[in-house]
Amino acid sequence: MDASTNMRPLATTSYRQMVGDQLRAAIASGELAPGERLNEVAVAKQLGVSPTPVREAFRDLEQSGLIEVIPYRGARVRPLTERDLSEIYSLRAHLEQLGIRLAYPRLTESDFEELSGQIREMEERAHNDDPGGVVKHDVAFHRLIMAKADHSLLLKTWEQIHPSRWTYVTVRVLANRGPLYIAQRHWPLLDALRGPSPEIAVEAAAQHIELVGDEAMRVLRGEQDGDSPAQDGAAGTHPEPAPGN
């Protein structure tokens, strides 16, 4: 290979991804609060990298809607509004209900095993206090369903509005519930996907998304009013599925 090519070093790309992953996890966990300022030089120093990958990670996070860059003032964690949450959850619900309606007759036992595995991975990451890992496997769970719909424009639209952002928003707003709660909410949806009717599965998808959206709205309103969200325990462990369920 010609040594004079302009290909970027792998290290730079890796640092950009690693910086972004750490910032996403800190935002999701609440360690970086809505409205908190992000100083490029300070973040670079804390993570032991140059400012360049931090600047690149900031651009990625801004595109995903997790931070905002204000001219002449720098970056900050993007505060959420009720309109943000309403738009995020309502649009996601409609897209995924269509996806499930189309995917339902195409899902195989192998797909169900993979979906179950993604939930267990979410639970394991939650037990290890790894919200970024929960988000990764949560998105993989939903993407498998959307891909099985065999509708390329639907999948493209779903991907273009950043499913990882939706999940980070959920984890961030429902931090008082904990990531295990987020993970275990997928079991009823999986049970419905394996059930006898596509209508039941579509309704389960609506509940999966809209109910957590309603809860997130209540939490956000409480935070805006200066109240502390109620401290609810994590959901109970889902029992081992019986063979064939």
Structure-token pair, residue 118 = 């993604």
pTM: 0.69
Q: Which of 8, 13, 7 is nearest to 49 (CA)?
A: 13
Sequence ranges of the domains in the chain:
10-77, 82-224
* Mean per-residue pLDDT, 144-163: 91
Highest mean pLDDT of the ranges 52-61, 75-84, 160-169, 207-216 = 52-61
Q: Which CATH class is domain 10-77?
A: mainly alpha
**Which tokens go with 23?**
């910032």
How far is residue 73's CA from residue 120's CA, in Å, rounded to a whole number?
42
φ and ψ at residue 145, rounded to 5 degrees: -65, -45
- For residue 226 the two structure tokens come to 């200066």
The answer to whether the CB of 38 falls within 8 A of the CB of 27 is no
Query: What pLDDT is recorded for position 8?
Result: 53
Please list the residues that pair with 75 across neighbouring strands: 38, 69
Residues 4-16: tens digit of each pLDDT: 555 455 455 689 9
Residues listed for the chain: 245
Q: How far apart are CA 113 and CA 136, in angstroms?
A: 18
Give the H/E segment covering residue 89: helix 82-103
Contact at 8 Å (CB) between 216 and 170? yes
Q: Which helix (H) or strand (E) holds 70?
A: strand 67-70
CATH class of this structure's domain 82-224 = mainly alpha
**pLDDT recorded at residue 6:** 56
pLDDT of residue 78: 87
Structure tokens given for 234: 């994590």
Q: Whole-angstrom distance between the N-terminal and C-terminal Cα of the chain?
A: 54
The predicted-structure confidence for 204-240, as pLDDT tens digits, reads as follows 999 998 888 888 788 777 766 654 433 333 334 444 4
Q: Which contiguous run of DSSP H or E holds residue 77? A: strand 74-77
* Per-residue pLDDT at 172 exceeds 60: yes
